[in-house]
Amino acid sequence: MSERATDGEDEFGWLEEVTGDEALAWVRERNAGTVADLAAGSRYDGLRAGIREVLDADDRIPYITRRGDFRYNFWRDAAHPRGLWRRTTLASYRTAEPEWDVLLDLDALADAEGENWVWDSAQVLRPAYERALVQLSRGGADATVVREFDLVRREFVADGFTLPEAKTFVDWIDADRVYVGTDTGPGSLTNAGLPRTVREWRRGTPVAEAPLVFEGKPDDTYVTGHHDDTEGYERDFVRRGIDFYRDELYLRDGDTLTRIDLPDDAIVTVQREWLLVELRTPWRGFPAGALLATGFDAYVAGEDPAFVPLFEPDPHTALAGYSWTRHHLILTEMHDVSSRLTVLTPRESGPWHAEPLAGVPELGTASAHGTDADVDDEYLLEVTGFLTPTTLSVGTIGAGAEPVKHAPAYFDATGLVVRQHFAVSADGTRVPYFVVGPDTDGPLPTVLYGYGGFEVPWQPTYSGTIGRAWLSRGHRYVLANIRGGGEYGPTWHSGAVRENRRLVYEDFAAVATDLVSRGLTTAPRLGIHGGSNGGLLVSVMLTRHPELFGAAVSQVPLTDMRRYHRLLAGALWVAEYGDPDEPDDWAFMREFSPYHQVRPDAAYPPVLYTTSTRDDRVHPAHARKMVARLLAQGHDVTYYENIEGGHGGAADNAQAAFVSALVYEFFARHLT
């Protein structure tokens, strides 16, 4: 075996066999060593018990979705590890002890059928709300089975809409028809393993024989169909994903599909008479990050009406999201990563009326969304912060909101503070980050978390797990808002993809350096943590800047950027990272492919990798092969692979607590 593989060979390629005997034997051997080492002793036991208590707490907030007269919730606790799908009325939900009507007990179902079912979703048919399309996965994978459920009889429909395990989308048209995209044989999936076709499937007929509505190309990302059942505005749409950030929207009228001619990188939505366009790049004089509105029918008819700007960004403010109620649009904005909420009221012409929505904390996160945009102006308001347990309120636009649920305080925040600082990256860009910890001077053990990808913003949120496992022990926690995310809108992301990916890692290095310069920690007492794309971030930092920190945890990561696009869903992310089959792309990608940057003579700090055998999004071989190469070169690396759990890494609260306790035991062992 060579000391280090060239680009054309891979001495650990056999670990790509997800359930191969040799690969699983290697996993079991690594797991046994990790459990014997980390999952032992009173500190680990205390960590796991404390985290499990948070995850299973009976007094945590039961989040709800409105469907007709009921509020639906999916709930896991110690007595129901797989979970309960249940519902209640709003009046009951407002009480301290709601009366829940259990619709489906996943633990009972799993026991009866001999399957480890993990809840994915349920789509309830309007307006009667008597049938649902329930999607369940085995062990937490992205692939699901689809089964029609009778909400009146509390049972699955024997001859209903049923689909075997696949990466499937499905959407009700009416009681006897659905749009479906699934694996129906050769040519039905894209190279990324997602549906390539949309079919109109009628009850009682074979899905493979359902009439084809639209077929995409093999290198598309996905194709979906959607029926808008809003009374008076019934419409049908097909969406074709070109890549992760570009798609085409078609209006379906019988056999005719009419493309809605808008920038393919814009986020396009339709609500009643309104067409909303969120720009990722400048268009018609409007900047990237703007949200525009116009009349849908007039635009589709080719009248080209004027667009009204509902939001335009500035250097400190970006749009985080929006949600409709019956008569209003709620905007969620981020100003230097903290939230602001605005209520807009449509006008037939000119600017929409705008008023702030109250109840947002400083250096905190708030979000509001309508509960049924076809019925009334009810909304849910969620407010949280690093040290502020989450509050959920129910309100009506114009009448205010009343808190109905409060998350308990899982740790004592006395003496803890939250501060925001800005580091200066290598190119002079100011990069914000939050520091949570004791209001004291001097360096402390610190965990620095980052993600930096896919235009995903990371804002302050309350975590009982982090609080109990780390903050309550007198340590610091840091969240870095590096480029690649969406904290300052699409340009914060788009400027750091592909050949500019180095900016993500330069930003993270700048935050680590700034923490030490401020005296908040030292390199040996600084740990870094990330998952998925954040796991790639941690792995790149391990090989690029090992001198900046004393320990690292990389979870469900990408590491082999030479083959990522050929492993499971990796082809989805070529627009983010590049195409390694193109020599020009591989020239810059190789620099952030940590699997190809491991050196036997480097001094890497201790690193823990975790992943899941059932992760069918990011292949577990990324973590496996990285660990194997590090071990072969004599580096200090620890590994744990949960057999279940999907991309989340755990299928239930017990597994989640076990893995989280490994992470914080690892940090405690190496940073304190």
Region of residue 575 (phi > 0: left; psi between -120 and 50: alpha; otherwise: beta)? alpha
pLDDT of residue 8: 56
563 and 467 belong to one structural domain: yes
- Does residue 252 lie within any of the structural domains? no
- Does residue 501 lie within any of the structural domains? yes
- Does residue 21 lie within any of the structural domains? yes
300 and 330 belong to one structural domain: no
- Does residue 128 lie within any of the structural domains? no
268 and 357 belong to one structural domain: no
- CA 222, CA 169: separation in Å to the nearest integer? 10
Identify the domain boundary among 279, 313, 347. 313
448 and 384 belong to one structural domain: no
pLDDT of residue 4: 34
Place of tokens 């905190």: 364
235 has pLDDT over 50: yes
Provide mean pLDDT across the span 54-80. Answer: 97
Q: What Rg do the C-alpha atoms of the chain give, in angstroms?
A: 25
Per the CB < 8 A criterion, the answer to whether 353 and 47 are in contact is no
455 and 479 belong to one structural domain: yes
**In the numeric block, which tokens belong to residue 646?**
């999907």
- CA 54, CA 40: separation in Å to the nearest integer? 21
- Does residue 583 lie within any of the structural domains? yes
Q: What is the mean pLDDT of the chain?
A: 96
pLDDT of residue 457: 97
301 and 351 belong to one structural domain: no
Asked which of 105-109, 230-234, 356-360 is least confident by mean pLDDT, the reply is: 356-360
* Phi/psi at 484 (5° precision): 100, -30
pLDDT of residue 5: 36
What percent of the chain is modeled with pLDDT above 90? Answer: 95
The number of folded domains in the chain is 3
pLDDT of residue 588: 98
Provide mean pLDDT across the span 343-359. Answer: 91
328 has pLDDT over 50: yes
296 and 352 belong to one structural domain: no
At residue 69's C-alpha, the angle toward residues 67 and 72, to 5°, is: 45
What percent of the chain is modeled with pLDDT above 70? Answer: 99
Give the model confidence (pLDDT) of 584-601 as tens digits: 999 999 999 999 999 999
Question: How far apart are the two ends of the chain, measured CA to CA in Å?
Answer: 38
- Does residue 530 lie within any of the structural domains? yes
CATH of the domain at 561: 3.40.50.1820
Give the model confidence (pLDDT) of 116-143 as tens digits: 999 999 999 999 999 999 999 999 999 9
pLDDT of residue 665: 98
- Does residue 594 lie within any of the structural domains? yes
Identify the domain boundary among 249, 283, 313. 313
* Class of residue 350 by CB neighbours under 10 A (exposed 0-12, middle 13-18, buried 19+): exposed
- Does residue 529 lie within any of the structural domains? yes
- CA 298, CA 276: separation in Å to the nearest integer? 13
Give the model confidence (pLDDT) of 298-316 as tens digits: 999 999 889 999 999 999 9
- CA 92, CA 323: separation in Å to the nearest integer? 25
Identify the domain boundary among 375, 409, 443. 409
1 has pLDDT over 80: no
666 and 645 belong to one structural domain: yes
- Domain coverage including residue 400: 322-409
633 has pLDDT over 80: yes
Provide mean pLDDT across the span 530-554. Answer: 98
534 and 612 belong to one structural domain: yes
pLDDT of residue 37: 96
pLDDT of residue 9: 74
Per the CB < 8 A criterion, the answer to whether 482 and 511 are in contact is yes
335 and 482 belong to one structural domain: no
- pTM, two decimals, is 0.95
Integer angstrom CA distances of residue 589 from 172, 245, 540, 577, 586:
42, 19, 11, 7, 5
514 pLDDT tier (thresholds 50, 70, 90):
very high
pLDDT of residue 6: 41
604 and 635 belong to one structural domain: yes
- CA 450, CA 86: separation in Å to the nearest integer? 35
DSSP letter for each residue of 239-274: EEEEETTEEEEEEEETTEEEE--S-TTSEEEEETTE
360 has pLDDT over 80: no
505 and 641 belong to one structural domain: yes
- Active site positions, annotated: 532, 647
For the chain, the maximum distance between any two Cα atoms, rounded to a whole number of angstroms, is 71
